A and B are shown apart, each in its own frame.
Chain A
Amino acid sequence: MTKKEIKSREAQEALDSINEMEHAGLKRVLPTPRWLGAILALLIGTQIALLGAEIRNYNTILIVLIVIMTIAIINKNQSAGVTERILLSKRTLIICLICIIPIYFLAIISGQYLNNHFEYYWAPFAIGAFVTISIWSLVVSAHRSYINRFNEGKN
């Protein structure tokens, strides 16, 4: 075996070891279970729908449940000992967060406006359903991208 062959074999072994560890790392990152994402999406959608329809009786309990679900998701990541790498830059994330808050209030105000001025009683619920489906789609696409990354690492 030539020196070049030995060097190449060592390099291949190092690459194999890198793939193995990258795969082990990704295996540790459990994506947010889809059912947890579905419940969170449903809670936020319901809250927007109810506030849009000006039904405030369940608002406090919904907020408490949303906070509990969010804490559960954060705690799950902490106890796993790893956190997934977010490929978006910090700036993009801040912009996304800044955009989400007005969108949330806009959804509620739109529901209230359509309900009060045009008597579209179904409008707040349609907006709530739209928000639920949007959040659910985000959860599913995040889940898919994780599975793709995991399979890439495996190959």
Chain B
Amino acid sequence: MENSKFDAIIHAPNRLQICALLSPLEQVEFRVIRDELGISDSVLSKHIKQLEDVGYIKQKKSKVNGRARRWFHLTTKGRRAFELHVEELKRIVNDLL
């Protein structure tokens, strides 16, 4: 069983931050991700689409006080890929020590 695997999709800075933000949580709203990353709606949508296309994250739509809200969560596949990627980063850092 593999313990680490570099993932080029996840490694891009913004996507890495999205996955890192989602990893300790159940689900996160679009505006929270945007505010934490400090990027525009369009840039965030682009990265989210890339992560959705590979099946790493999924979205749910809900209405709160009549306003539509989009919630995102890491899928099992995405969580596993993120964990393996983090392990790979740790391995790279430790290799030099």
Binding site for B on A (CB under 8 A): 4-5, 7-8, 11-12, 14-15, 17-22, 24-26, 28-29, 78-86, 149, 153
CA distance A26 to B36 in the complex (A): 12
Binding site for A on B (CB under 8 A): 11, 13, 16-17, 20-29, 31-32, 36, 64, 71, 86, 89-90, 92-93, 95-96
- Given A25-B21, A83-B25, A85-B25, are A15 and B89 also a contact pair (CB < 8 Å)? yes
Residues of B within 8 A of A81 (CB): 28-29, 31-32
- Given A17-B16, A82-B29, are A22 and B64 also a contact pair (CB < 8 Å)? no
Q: In whole Å, how far is A148's beta carbon from the nearest beta carbon of chain B?
A: 12
Residues of B within 8 A of A7 (CB): 92
Decide if A22 touches B26 in the complex (CB within 8 Å): no
User: Which of chain B's residues has its CB closest to A23's CB?
Assistant: B24
Decide if B21 touches A22 in the complex (CB within 8 Å): yes
Q: In whole Å, how far is B14's beta carbon from the nearest beta carbon of chain A?
A: 10
User: Which of chain B's residues has its CB closest to A80's CB?
Assistant: B32
